[in-house]
Structure formats: structure tokens, C-alpha cells
Structure 1
């Protein structure tokens, strides 16, 4: 008989699934945690999400959806903490997590799923205290980000790389978005391939779907006769919106080869190192004399974001690294081709030459040429848009949840076997004992 997962503790320390993606540190991780929780709840799994409270107005417990509960743990000041400061609050956060479980009956949770290395540190402790398996999703790795830094972007600290190694060594199951990410875990952190599951993220296919482009533009106040190139994401060097803007400047000034005017639509807010110069992108547009051709919008809720995709001719994802690239799937589900950097999981999210195009590197002239090629053939864009919808249907949150549940069950089976072996030897150590040395890079 296959064991049943009744209740999952999901840990997301640094950002809440209830936060608006595109603000602060909220992004694809938030969408992943929220959408997978909703789908797991549909399968009868009660999901409790532990996150750090960032406002005095946050209720300790939020019944966010049927079967999905969010626990806001007070750990440190509500505001003013950068993500890099959060390791100082992990003790307080872990205490809040353990106290919540202590108030429940024994064996309350069947599995812990931690997201990002900070959460993995807490999950590691909770796993040993509760004697349930720890499943971990890194989402990004410090070594990978540091190997592909944008100009003037700050590298991830050595402490993060050490913390990631500890979590990789201790987790009972590791979930990655793509085979590329699996190979990175193995080569950088010496992860056991037998403990890795590849689970691709998805898109809300009921929300993101093709629509009336003219009506969408009218709703957004955009001209109907322009070519619209859209960027959706946090405004920070790592996401490279400046690369896209610089590459688009010749088109914003002169239009396409057949005379159609081009508009760049930027949707998102400053984040991370981008907070040091929150108006840098607007300033760049002004200095280039194209400010009237660039429309800036703040982060948008899903329904509004769907309209934005539908209004676009092309969505660009120029990031320096992406573990997957949810924006690319959402755009394609909406019938819009994607121009993306050939990094991380984007070659999985985008079928090069079929649903969009991949660009090697971040050379401005190369990106300009790619934009011109894409926008100069309207028939090709239309064909790519049709193919994009079909491609995106392969990526649903329902399928993601099914594979997550399979991974939880495998983690539980392996963990119980390990515990029986250790209990038989009289061991008092609940950890995996797989700790390895990591050569820290910068």
C-alpha cells in the first residue's frame, strides 16, 4: 500500500506566497509555492506554509485557500531587513516553526518541503526534531549566479554557498526544475543523483491564455498599431532589463523595417541590488531620448498580467541566469513568442526557432539584431505564437503537483528505511550524515 501524504509543512523564509510577485524579493518562487500548494490541496494534502512576517498587520495564521494555511512567523524587525540579513534571524524563525508543531498532536506533518537555502537550514532542524523527511528546492544556486554576474552586480557571499552545501548534504530528496539544474547540483555540490527529482514548474493555464490583442491594448491604454516588446520581472541587474532597453533603443527610435513603431513595456519594481538605483532604467530611457517610447508599470496581479501578455507582440527574458523562467511559460501560454537568453532552464521553457528564439550572451548588438529579426516578420511571430500555446500546455501546475507528491512519497519511504536502520543500531543521530566539503568560489 502506497503511504499517503496527509499534511505538508512548506517553508519559505524570505518571501511570502501571498506577496505580489515583482515587488521586493517576491518572484517566481512565490508563484511556485502558492500554485503548488493550491494543487496539492486539491489532492487532499493539507499544506501549511511557514514564512516570515514582514508587517505588524500580518495575522499569525491566514487561511489562504481551502486546504492551504499560511503561518506568519515573527523573527526580527518587520521591515528594513535585506535578504542577506536574514541568516541572523533563522534561530528566531526556527523557534517559531518548532513551537507551531509542538502545539499539534505527535506526527502532525508527514513531510517538510523547503524553498531556497535559508528555508533549507530551518527545514534541516525541523526534520531532525519531527523525524519526517526533508524535501528541498534550491530555486537558485550561489555558484551559478556568481558565474554569470551582471556588470556591477554584487556576488553571492561565501556563507550562502556553505549553507547551500549543508542543505544539499542533509536533504532526503532534492527537487530541481531541469536536467541542467540537476547536473549543476551534482558537479558543484556533489549531490547524490539518486536523491534528485526533476519537476518542471508550470503556469496557470486557466489564467494565461490567448486573448484579443486590440482589446487588451485598449484596456492598458496602449496604441493598437505599435509593436510591443514586454519585460516582466524584478528590476535588478541580474534580470538584465537594461540589456533589453539598450538593445531596443535603435528600434524605439526608428521603428521596424516596414515602419511600424515599437514600444517597450516594462512591468516590475526595483529589487535586490536594483534598489540602490531605483530609477536607473527610467534615467537610461531619458538619456537615450526614448522615454516616450517606454511604458513602465508596477508589478501586476495575475489577471492584469494576463492582459499585459495578450497585449504584447513579443516577451523578452534577458536574465543572466534563470533556474527555469516562469514568465516565458506564462507568455507562451498567452500566445506570445519569447526572446530569451540561452541560460539555465530557458532552453527548456522556450523552443528555439519554434516558440521563440534564444540569444547567446548579453552583447547589446546581438540582442538588437535578434529583436530586429523577430519583429520584422509578422507572419513568423504569428506562427510562433500558435506553437507557443501548444508548447505551454506541457507545463501545468497540476502536473507539477503530481510529481511533487510522488517525490514526497519516495522521500518518506527512504527516510523511514533509514530511521529503521539507525534505530536498530541504537543511533541517536537523526541526520543523514552526508556532509561534504565545499570549495567556495566567488
Structure 2
């Protein structure tokens, strides 16, 4: 029986490119996950080639993201203007493009296929079988889980996705779940075999997302100065894709309620919303701005487009608290990143967020999605200015356990187990 580790992994990310800016369109935590995991796998001598759909004719066929990490652009349908919902019809084209690359390599060039999200899993299932290598799949989100906790007015995932996910789960040699709860959902909702499911927590780039070495309070003051934010303000931050699933409206409604209760807070509160419309939010890109005006808080809400990772770390450090009222999160990388910067988190007690956030220590978990409950949590930070620094120091310590090197080592073990089973 083989006990070898892979030399080279073919990683599939059909609908979103590792080159895309997180927080725009369909790019989010999964993009960060793929890039950071690939870099850390390469650091332990496992080469990674990421296959993704070409979205521009100007893109080169390959781009080296880091030593040992290559992005391959596969032509599958029109470059631009193709919605995620239209991609299932292009999966045959994508599979053909992947196969052409494989045909030009020597036999046994790839040892493992690792697919991300159900669209990639469809391609992964076919290619892994053809290449006679194991398929490792990460769901990231699941249709049945999302449909069980939809935001008001959001669109349910179609039955075709549920069927596609089920086929991928049955065809995978190993499934990677972000948390034990996600592993349970895979088994309970999709009848996944428990011994084929491995729990690997996502990581955080602890070199990029870290507290200011001068301390949380000094770092907050410096970050606010760089971003042009008032030094003594109460700053609850939302960072991420603007769509009903992420529930930024709950933060705005909570702030409006808080200002009714504490009108003098208006003089010292700033509510940054950093991100761009995504998913069903693309249909109404100005909806959140209109809501802020309707609630009478347009003067305190600061809308900013998605930013690069270095500036995002500054927004985290500048915030009093990150607010993450999502209806569904497989893990919640944003929460882990903010804590790594020394910023506590108010989060919905859903999905993987109870793992990412240590309730009462590194942040506050809120059951449900009532704005009044989030206003109550925000009031704690308004009434106790030292609370953010106290929880922030604990948050930074908590986040230290989520390094990408740990996640990469655990993922490599999953690859090895899948290879043993395939052999």
C-alpha cells in the first residue's frame, strides 16, 4: 500500500479566479482560501496548478502566482458577461480545456485533483476518473444548507445544484469540511460517508493579518489616521460581498436602532461598509445605500469599494468591532482575519462562525438575526470603550491557531489518504 504524498495537485476553481479581487462579484473567501492554501502546499514541496475559467482575452494562458503555484486559464464560453448561473452549460468546454492540458503532460503528471465548490466538483469528478487519480473536494457552501436559512427576498439554490452536489459527494474519495458542523451537514443532508470526510479549518495569513506590534490601541489609532477616520469614534465595520446572504442590512438596522436609543452617539460613530455587490445583490446594487438613507443614517455610513489585502488589514485594525450577521457561513474567513489583526467580532451564531469566534472571549455570537440583538451587542462596545482592546488582545491569540501552514499540512494528509484509497 502506498504511503507517498503527492508531488503535484490539479486544483479546480471554475467560477472564480484566484487572480480576482476578493469582495467583488463572486470573488470572496474561497479565492483567498485557494491562493493561500496553494502557496503553503508549495512551501512543503507539493506543486499546485489552479485551473480557472478565462474571463478576458488579454489573460495569458498561465500565470505564476508564487514558486510552485501556477494558475491556468481555460477558455470555456464567452470571456465576459457570463453569470455563475450560466456556467453549468459551460462545464463540458471547461473539462475539454483541462483535458487538453493534461494530454500534453507526461503520464502521471498530476497525483490528485482538488476541486472547490460544486461547479468545479463536476469537472473534478470526470477528470479524476479519466486520469485515474483521487478526487478531493471542498464544498465551501452547500445548497441545502443555504436554502434552509435564506435571507428575506433571497433566491433559493436550484434543484440542479443539489443534484450536482450529490453526484460530486458520492464520487469524491475525500471531502474536506471547514468545521465539524459542516462535516455533520455533509453526512446528514447528503448522506456522505463519515470516514471520507476530513475536517480542516481554513487558515489566516498571519504575516499580513496581525496586530500592530505597538499594541492594539496604538495600532488602531495609526490605522485610523491612515484611513482618515476620527480617532475616538465607535466604528463597527462590515467587510465582504454585499448580498442578502451576508446581511449587511442587519448592521444598518442595528445602528439605526442604537442611535434612536442613544442619539448622542451620532457625533462619534462611523459605519464603514467595505465591499461590492455580489450574487443576488447585483440585481439591486444601490439597495444598501437607499436603506441607509431610509433609516436616517446615511450621514454615518461610509461605503467603500473592495480593497486589497494590505488595506483590508488596516480597516480591520481601525475598527472597534467587525460585524458579521451572515445567514450562512461555512467558516467565516473575514472573522478570523479581523481577529488576527486584534479586532473582536460580533457574528451570527451560524455555520462555522462559532468555531471562528470564541463567544465572550474574542467576540460576541448572536443567535438569530434580529437587529435589536445586534444593537444590544454594539451597545456593549459603546458603553465600555476598553472592551474592544480587551477582547481584541484575546482575539489575536485565538486567531494564532488558524495559520495556513497548519491547514496545508492537514490537507496534505487528506491527499495522502485519498491516494492510498485510490491505489
**TM-score (structure 1 length as normaliser):** 0.92
Please say which of residues 229-238 and 368-377 is displaced more in the overlay: 368-377
2:224 to 201, 213, 217: 217
> Given that residues 237 and 322 in structure 2 are in contact (C-alpha distance below 8 angstroms), is that contact kept between their aligned partners in structure 1?
yes
* Helix, strand or coil at the partner of 1:119: helix
* Aligned positions of 1:8-407 closer than 5 A: 8-211=9-212, 212-252=219-259, 261-407=268-414
Q: Distance in 1 between matches of 2:416 and 2:301?
A: 49
> Given that residues 41 and 412 in structure 2 are in contact (C-alpha distance below 8 angstroms), is that contact kept between their aligned partners in structure 1?
yes
Q: Distance in 2 between matches of 1:249 and 1:261?
A: 14
* Helix, strand or coil at the partner of 2:402: coil
Q: Distance in 1 between matches of 2:37 and 2:81?
A: 29
Q: Distance in 2 between matches of 1:376 and 1:130?
A: 61
Q: Distance in 2 between matches of 1:252 and 1:62?
A: 49
Q: Distance in 1 between matches of 2:132 and 2:322?
A: 45
> Given that residues 227 and 260 in structure 1 are in contact (C-alpha distance below 8 angstroms), is that contact kept between their aligned partners in structure 2?
no
* Helix, strand or coil at the partner of 2:107: coil
Shift of 1:4: 2.7
Q: Distance in 1 between matches of 2:130 and 2:12?
A: 15
> Given that residues 338 and 357 in structure 1 are in contact (C-alpha distance below 8 angstroms), is that contact kept between their aligned partners in structure 2?
yes
Question: 1:6-51: CA deviations, max 9, x gaps?
Answer: 1000000000111100000000100000000000011111110000
Q: Distance in 2 between matches of 1:258 and 1:317?
A: 21
> Given that residues 214 and 224 in structure 1 are in contact (C-alpha distance below 8 angstroms), is that contact kept between their aligned partners in structure 2?
yes
**TM-score (structure 2 length as normaliser):** 0.96
Q: Distance in 2 between matches of 1:256 and 1:339?
A: 22
Shift of 1:257: 7.8
Please say which of residues 339-348 and 292-301 is displaced more in the overlay: 292-301
* Helix, strand or coil at the partner of 1:291: coil
Shift of 1:258: 7.7
> Given that residues 258 and 376 in structure 1 are in contact (C-alpha distance below 8 angstroms), is that contact kept between their aligned partners in structure 2?
no
Question: 1:371-394: CA deviations, max 9, x gaps?
Answer: 112332222222111110110000
> Given that residues 175 and 196 in structure 1 are in contact (C-alpha distance below 8 angstroms), is that contact kept between their aligned partners in structure 2?
yes
* Helix, strand or coil at the partner of 2:31: helix
* Structure 2: gaps of 5 or more residues: 213-218
Q: Distance in 2 between matches of 1:260 and 1:389?
A: 29
Shift of 1:251: 3.4
Segments of 4+ moved more than 3 angstroms = 250-260
Shift of 1:260: 6.4
Q: Distance in 1 between matches of 2:260 and 2:393?
A: 29
Shift of 1:289: 2.2
Q: Distance in 2 between matches of 1:406 and 1:124?
A: 20
Q: Distance in 1 between matches of 2:267 and 2:388?
A: 15
Q: Distance in 2 between matches of 1:10 and 1:50?
A: 6
* Helix, strand or coil at the partner of 1:38: helix
Shift of 1:256: 7.9
> Given that residues 276 and 306 in structure 2 are in contact (C-alpha distance below 8 angstroms), is that contact kept between their aligned partners in structure 1?
yes
